[in-house]
Protein backbone atom coordinates (compact mmCIF):
# COMPACT_ATOMS: atom_id res chain seq x y z
CA UNK A 1 0.00 0.00 0.00
CA UNK A 2 2.68 2.43 1.09
CA UNK A 3 4.69 1.31 -1.92
CA UNK A 4 2.04 2.48 -4.31
CA UNK A 5 1.71 5.94 -2.90
CA UNK A 6 5.35 6.83 -3.44
CA UNK A 7 5.58 5.37 -6.93
CA UNK A 8 5.94 8.34 -9.26
CA UNK A 9 3.35 8.74 -11.96
CA UNK A 10 5.56 9.07 -14.97
CA UNK A 11 2.93 10.29 -17.41
CA UNK A 12 1.83 13.02 -15.08
CA UNK A 13 5.39 14.08 -14.36
CA UNK A 14 6.12 14.15 -18.06
CA UNK A 15 3.07 16.29 -18.74
CA UNK A 16 4.20 18.68 -16.03
CA UNK A 17 7.62 18.93 -17.64
CA UNK A 18 5.96 19.61 -20.99
CA UNK A 19 3.72 22.25 -19.49
CA UNK A 20 6.55 23.98 -17.64
CA UNK A 21 8.67 24.09 -20.77
CA UNK A 22 5.79 25.50 -22.74
CA UNK A 23 5.19 28.18 -20.13
CA UNK A 24 8.86 29.03 -20.19
CA UNK A 25 8.89 29.19 -23.99
CA UNK A 26 5.78 31.36 -24.03
CA UNK A 27 7.34 33.79 -21.56
CA UNK A 28 9.82 34.78 -24.23
CA UNK A 29 7.40 34.61 -27.09
CA UNK A 30 9.31 36.67 -29.63
CA UNK A 31 12.37 34.53 -29.01
CA UNK A 32 10.26 31.40 -29.45
CA UNK A 33 8.84 32.59 -32.76
CA UNK A 34 12.28 33.57 -33.92
CA UNK A 35 13.68 30.15 -33.08
CA UNK A 36 10.86 28.53 -35.03
CA UNK A 37 11.56 30.74 -38.02
CA UNK A 38 15.28 30.12 -37.95
CA UNK A 39 14.99 26.34 -37.69
CA UNK A 40 12.46 26.33 -40.49
CA UNK A 41 14.83 28.52 -42.51
CA UNK A 42 17.64 25.97 -42.09
CA UNK A 43 15.29 23.31 -43.37
CA UNK A 44 14.25 25.49 -46.28
CA UNK A 45 17.89 25.92 -47.14
CA UNK A 46 18.32 22.17 -47.26
CA UNK A 47 15.32 21.89 -49.51
CA UNK A 48 16.87 24.54 -51.75
CA UNK A 49 20.13 22.62 -51.86
CA UNK A 50 18.45 19.39 -52.97
CA UNK A 51 16.28 21.23 -55.49
CA UNK A 52 19.51 22.49 -57.01
CA UNK A 53 20.89 18.95 -57.05
CA UNK A 54 17.79 17.66 -58.80
CA UNK A 55 18.29 20.23 -61.53
CA UNK A 56 21.23 18.12 -62.64
CA UNK A 57 20.05 14.60 -61.95
CA UNK A 58 16.74 12.81 -61.63
CA UNK A 59 18.00 10.32 -59.09
CA UNK A 60 20.47 10.17 -56.19
CA UNK A 61 22.67 7.22 -57.08
CA UNK A 62 22.30 5.11 -60.20
CA UNK A 63 19.17 2.90 -60.19
CA UNK A 64 18.44 3.40 -56.52
CA UNK A 65 14.89 4.64 -56.98
CA UNK A 66 15.60 7.78 -54.94
CA UNK A 67 14.05 10.22 -57.37
CA UNK A 68 12.93 13.69 -56.35
CA UNK A 69 9.65 12.80 -54.65
CA UNK A 70 11.02 9.69 -52.98
CA UNK A 71 14.07 11.57 -51.79
CA UNK A 72 12.04 14.40 -50.32
CA UNK A 73 9.97 11.82 -48.48
CA UNK A 74 13.28 10.51 -47.16
CA UNK A 75 14.26 14.02 -46.06
CA UNK A 76 10.88 14.51 -44.40
CA UNK A 77 11.62 11.36 -42.41
CA UNK A 78 14.98 12.80 -41.40
CA UNK A 79 13.21 15.91 -40.13
CA UNK A 80 10.53 13.98 -38.27
CA UNK A 81 13.12 12.02 -36.35
CA UNK A 82 15.53 14.90 -35.85
CA UNK A 83 12.87 17.31 -34.68
CA UNK A 84 11.53 14.82 -32.12
CA UNK A 85 15.03 14.14 -30.85
CA UNK A 86 15.86 17.83 -30.76
CA UNK A 87 12.67 18.79 -29.03
CA UNK A 88 12.64 16.15 -26.32
CA UNK A 89 16.16 14.90 -25.70
CA UNK A 90 18.71 17.34 -27.07
CA UNK A 91 18.28 20.21 -24.58
CA UNK A 92 18.43 17.75 -21.70
CA UNK A 93 21.59 16.07 -22.88
CA UNK A 94 23.31 19.42 -23.29
CA UNK A 95 22.30 20.19 -19.73
CA UNK A 96 23.38 16.78 -18.50
CA UNK A 97 27.07 17.28 -19.19
CA UNK A 98 26.80 20.58 -17.32
CA UNK A 99 25.16 18.78 -14.39
CA UNK A 100 28.09 16.38 -14.27
CA UNK A 101 30.63 19.16 -14.32
CA UNK A 102 28.98 21.32 -11.70
CA UNK A 103 27.85 18.48 -9.46
CA UNK A 104 24.20 19.40 -9.98
CA UNK A 105 23.45 15.77 -10.76
CA UNK A 106 23.27 15.18 -6.98
CA UNK A 107 19.86 16.76 -6.94
CA UNK A 108 18.61 14.60 -9.80
CA UNK A 109 19.86 11.46 -8.05
CA UNK A 110 18.06 12.40 -4.84
CA UNK A 111 14.63 12.69 -6.45
CA UNK A 112 12.34 9.68 -6.00
CA UNK A 113 12.07 9.01 -9.70
CA UNK A 114 14.07 7.15 -12.33
CA UNK A 115 17.19 9.24 -12.98
CA UNK A 116 17.35 8.48 -16.69
CA UNK A 117 13.73 9.53 -17.12
CA UNK A 118 14.32 12.70 -15.17
CA UNK A 119 17.43 13.85 -16.97
CA UNK A 120 16.19 12.89 -20.46
CA UNK A 121 12.85 14.63 -20.45
CA UNK A 122 13.05 17.49 -18.00
CA UNK A 123 13.15 20.21 -20.61
CA UNK A 124 11.26 20.18 -23.89
CA UNK A 125 12.17 22.57 -26.63
CA UNK A 126 8.87 23.18 -28.32
CA UNK A 127 10.30 25.34 -31.06
CA UNK A 128 12.24 22.37 -32.46
CA UNK A 129 8.93 20.77 -33.35
CA UNK A 130 8.39 23.43 -36.01
CA UNK A 131 10.54 21.27 -38.27
CA UNK A 132 8.18 18.41 -37.62
CA UNK A 133 5.44 20.40 -39.30
CA UNK A 134 7.70 21.30 -42.19
CA UNK A 135 8.37 17.57 -42.47
CA UNK A 136 4.63 16.90 -42.56
CA UNK A 137 4.21 19.48 -45.28
CA UNK A 138 6.98 18.07 -47.41
CA UNK A 139 5.87 14.47 -46.83
CA UNK A 140 2.31 15.38 -47.86
CA UNK A 141 3.57 17.17 -50.93
CA UNK A 142 5.83 14.27 -51.94
CA UNK A 143 3.12 11.67 -51.37
CA UNK A 144 0.67 13.72 -53.41
CA UNK A 145 3.21 14.19 -56.17
CA UNK A 146 4.03 10.47 -56.15
CA UNK A 147 0.38 9.50 -56.34
CA UNK A 148 -0.50 11.85 -59.17
CA UNK A 149 2.52 11.57 -61.43
CA UNK A 150 1.88 9.93 -64.81
CA UNK A 151 4.76 7.41 -64.67
CA UNK A 152 4.38 4.67 -62.05
CA UNK A 153 2.32 6.47 -59.43
CA UNK A 154 2.65 5.19 -55.87
CA UNK A 155 -0.16 5.11 -53.32
CA UNK A 156 0.62 4.48 -49.68
CA UNK A 157 -1.47 1.78 -48.02
CA UNK A 158 -2.79 2.03 -44.47
CA UNK A 159 -0.47 -0.77 -43.40
CA UNK A 160 2.58 0.98 -44.84
CA UNK A 161 1.68 4.20 -43.06
CA UNK A 162 1.27 2.36 -39.75
CA UNK A 163 4.58 0.56 -40.30
CA UNK A 164 6.15 3.90 -41.18
CA UNK A 165 5.05 5.48 -37.91
CA UNK A 166 6.24 2.42 -36.01
CA UNK A 167 9.68 2.50 -37.60
CA UNK A 168 10.00 6.25 -37.15
CA UNK A 169 9.45 5.66 -33.43
CA UNK A 170 12.04 2.87 -33.52
CA UNK A 171 14.39 5.34 -35.17
CA UNK A 172 13.82 7.90 -32.44
CA UNK A 173 14.52 5.22 -29.84
CA UNK A 174 17.80 4.30 -31.53
CA UNK A 175 18.89 7.93 -31.73
CA UNK A 176 17.95 8.40 -28.10
CA UNK A 177 19.99 5.36 -27.12
CA UNK A 178 23.05 6.63 -28.97
CA UNK A 179 22.62 9.92 -27.18
CA UNK A 180 22.34 8.29 -23.75
CA UNK A 181 25.52 6.32 -24.48
CA UNK A 182 27.31 9.56 -25.31
CA UNK A 183 25.92 11.17 -22.18
CA UNK A 184 27.16 8.23 -20.10
CA UNK A 185 30.68 8.82 -21.38
CA UNK A 186 30.50 12.35 -20.06
CA UNK A 187 30.16 10.91 -16.56
CA UNK A 188 33.47 9.12 -16.99
CA UNK A 189 35.24 11.95 -18.73
CA UNK A 190 34.03 14.49 -16.20
CA UNK A 191 32.98 16.72 -18.99
CA UNK A 192 32.22 16.04 -22.58
CA UNK A 193 32.18 19.25 -24.47
CA UNK A 194 32.29 17.56 -27.83
CA UNK A 195 29.09 15.67 -27.00
CA UNK A 196 27.21 17.79 -29.47
CA UNK A 197 29.91 17.40 -32.10
CA UNK A 198 30.07 13.65 -31.75
CA UNK A 199 26.33 13.45 -31.96
CA UNK A 200 26.33 15.53 -35.12
CA UNK A 201 29.10 13.52 -36.76
CA UNK A 202 27.49 10.18 -36.01
CA UNK A 203 23.98 11.10 -37.00
CA UNK A 204 25.31 12.78 -40.11
CA UNK A 205 25.71 9.28 -41.56
CA UNK A 206 22.02 8.55 -41.13
CA UNK A 207 20.84 11.47 -43.24
CA UNK A 208 21.31 9.89 -46.64
CA UNK A 209 19.96 6.81 -48.40
CA UNK A 210 22.16 3.85 -47.54
CA UNK A 211 22.70 3.04 -51.21
CA UNK A 212 25.22 5.86 -51.49
CA UNK A 213 27.62 3.89 -49.27
CA UNK A 214 27.31 0.84 -51.50
CA UNK A 215 30.77 1.18 -53.04
CA UNK A 216 33.93 -0.83 -52.29
CA UNK A 217 35.17 1.93 -49.95
CA UNK A 218 31.78 2.53 -48.39
CA UNK A 219 30.83 -1.04 -47.50
CA UNK A 220 32.81 -1.15 -44.25
CA UNK A 221 31.03 2.06 -43.23
CA UNK A 222 27.72 0.54 -44.27
CA UNK A 223 28.35 -2.49 -42.08
CA UNK A 224 29.55 -0.40 -39.18
CA UNK A 225 26.60 1.96 -39.17
CA UNK A 226 24.05 -0.82 -39.60
CA UNK A 227 25.37 -3.34 -37.11
CA UNK A 228 27.64 -1.58 -34.63
CA UNK A 229 26.06 1.87 -34.29
CA UNK A 230 22.76 1.26 -36.07
CA UNK A 231 22.10 4.83 -37.18
CA UNK A 232 21.66 3.87 -40.83
CA UNK A 233 18.45 1.94 -40.20
CA UNK A 234 16.97 4.92 -38.37
CA UNK A 235 15.74 6.82 -41.42
CA UNK A 236 16.30 4.30 -44.18
CA UNK A 237 13.88 1.64 -43.01
CA UNK A 238 10.78 3.84 -42.53
CA UNK A 239 11.55 5.91 -45.62
CA UNK A 240 11.84 2.82 -47.80
CA UNK A 241 8.55 1.44 -46.56
CA UNK A 242 6.68 4.51 -47.67
CA UNK A 243 8.73 5.71 -50.61
CA UNK A 244 9.47 2.52 -52.51
CA UNK A 245 6.55 0.15 -52.06
CA UNK A 246 5.92 -0.81 -55.68
CA UNK A 247 9.37 -1.91 -56.65
CA UNK A 248 9.85 -5.62 -56.09
CA UNK A 249 11.23 -5.82 -52.57
CA UNK A 250 14.87 -6.76 -52.53
CA UNK A 251 15.50 -9.86 -50.44
CA UNK A 252 17.51 -7.88 -47.90
CA UNK A 253 14.76 -5.43 -47.07
CA UNK A 254 12.65 -7.52 -44.66
CA UNK A 255 15.68 -8.80 -42.74
CA UNK A 256 16.78 -5.17 -42.49
CA UNK A 257 13.41 -4.12 -41.10
CA UNK A 258 13.57 -6.99 -38.63
CA UNK A 259 17.06 -5.90 -37.67
CA UNK A 260 15.77 -2.37 -37.15
CA UNK A 261 13.35 -3.67 -34.52
CA UNK A 262 15.99 -5.88 -32.93
CA UNK A 263 18.61 -3.14 -32.90
CA UNK A 264 16.12 -0.78 -31.27
CA UNK A 265 15.66 -3.23 -28.42
CA UNK A 266 19.37 -3.98 -28.17
CA UNK A 267 20.44 -0.33 -28.37
CA UNK A 268 17.92 0.68 -25.75
CA UNK A 269 18.98 -2.09 -23.39
CA UNK A 270 22.67 -1.38 -23.78
CA UNK A 271 22.25 2.35 -23.34
CA UNK A 272 20.15 1.82 -20.21
CA UNK A 273 22.78 -0.52 -18.81
CA UNK A 274 25.61 1.83 -19.72
CA UNK A 275 23.84 4.78 -18.17
CA UNK A 276 23.23 2.98 -14.87
CA UNK A 277 26.82 1.81 -14.82
CA UNK A 278 28.10 5.31 -15.45
CA UNK A 279 26.02 6.70 -12.60
CA UNK A 280 27.77 4.28 -10.25
CA UNK A 281 31.08 5.94 -11.01
CA UNK A 282 29.72 9.44 -10.62
CA UNK A 283 31.62 11.40 -8.04
CA UNK A 284 29.96 14.60 -7.11
CA UNK A 285 31.95 17.60 -8.22
CA UNK A 286 31.18 20.03 -5.45
CA UNK A 287 29.10 20.25 -2.27
Partner 1 sequence: MSTIPASPLAKIGAVHQVKTWWMMIRISLEERLAYRGDFALGTLMRFLPIITQIFLWGAIFNAVAAQSGNDENNPPMLGGYALPDMVAYFLLTMIARAFSSMPGLASGIASQVRQGEIKKYLIQPVDLISFLLCTRIAHKLAYYVVATLPFAFVFFLCRGFFTEGFPPPAYFIAFLGSLVMGFMIGFFLEATIGMISFWLLEVNSLLLIFMLFSFFLSGHMFPLSLLPPDIEWFVNLLPLKYLAYFPAAIFLQKIPEDELATEMAIEAGWVVFFIIVCRWMYERGLKRYSGFGG
**What is the footprint of partner 1 within residues 157-196 (CB under 8 A)?**
194
Residue 216-245 contact track with partner 1, rule CB under 8 A, x = bound: --x--x------------------------
- For partner 1, the closer CB: 207 or 240: 207
User: In whole angstroms, how close is the CB of 68 to partner 1 at the nearest point?
Assistant: 12
Categorise residue 65: left if φ over 0, alpha if ψ from -120 to 50, beta otherwise. left
Contact region with partner 1 (CB under 8 A), list: 108-116, 175-183, 212-220, 247-255: 212-220
CA dihedral 91, 96, 97, 103 (to 10 degrees): 140
Contact region with partner 1 (CB under 8 A), list: 30-38, 74-82, 145-153, 236-244: 30-38
User: In whole angstroms, how close is the CB of 256 to partner 1 at the nearest point?
Assistant: 19
What SS3 class is residue 5?
helix
- For partner 1, the closer CB: 8 or 218: 218
Burial per residue of 109-130, b for 16 or more beta-carbon CB atoms within 10 angstroms, e otherwise: eeeeeebbebbbbbbbbbbbbb
* Residue 197 is a binding residue for partner 1 (CB under 8 A): yes
- For partner 1, the closer CB: 146 or 231: 231
Provide the terminal-to-terminal Cα distance of the chain, rounded to the nearest Å.
Answer: 36
- For partner 1, the closer CB: 17 or 66: 66
**Helical H segments across the chain, by residue range:** 2-6, 10-27, 29-56, 68-88, 90-102, 105-110, 115-121, 130-148, 158-189, 195-203, 219-223, 232-243, 253-280
**What is the footprint of partner 1 within residues 45-84 (CB under 8 A)?**
45, 48-49, 52-53, 55-64
Total site size for partner 1, rule CB under 8 A: 36
- For partner 1, the closer CB: 120 or 206: 206
What SS3 class is residue 245?
coil
**67 φ/ψ angles, rounded to the nearest 5 degrees:** -85, -175
Residue 199: name the closest of 84, 93, 119 by CA. 93
- For partner 1, the closer CB: 34 or 273: 34
Selected from 201, 227, 254, 273, the binder of partner 1 by CB under 8 A is 201
- For partner 1, the closer CB: 51 or 265: 51
CA angle 207–211–213, rounded 5-degree value: 80
Rounded alpha-carbon distances, angstroms, from residue 61 to 66, 67, 106, 171: 7, 9, 51, 23
Residues that bind partner 1 (CB under 8 A): 31, 34, 38, 41-42, 45, 48-49, 52-53, 55-64, 194, 197-198, 200-201, 204-205, 207-209, 211-213, 215, 218, 221
Amino acid sequence: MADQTIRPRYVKVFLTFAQNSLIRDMTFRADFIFQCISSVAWTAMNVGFYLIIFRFTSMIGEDTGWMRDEFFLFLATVWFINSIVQAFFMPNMAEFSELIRTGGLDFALLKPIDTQFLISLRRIEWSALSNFFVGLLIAAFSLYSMATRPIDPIYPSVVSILLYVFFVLCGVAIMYSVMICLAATSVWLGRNQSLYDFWFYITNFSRYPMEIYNTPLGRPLLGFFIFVIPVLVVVNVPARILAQPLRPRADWEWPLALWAVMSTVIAFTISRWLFKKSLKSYRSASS
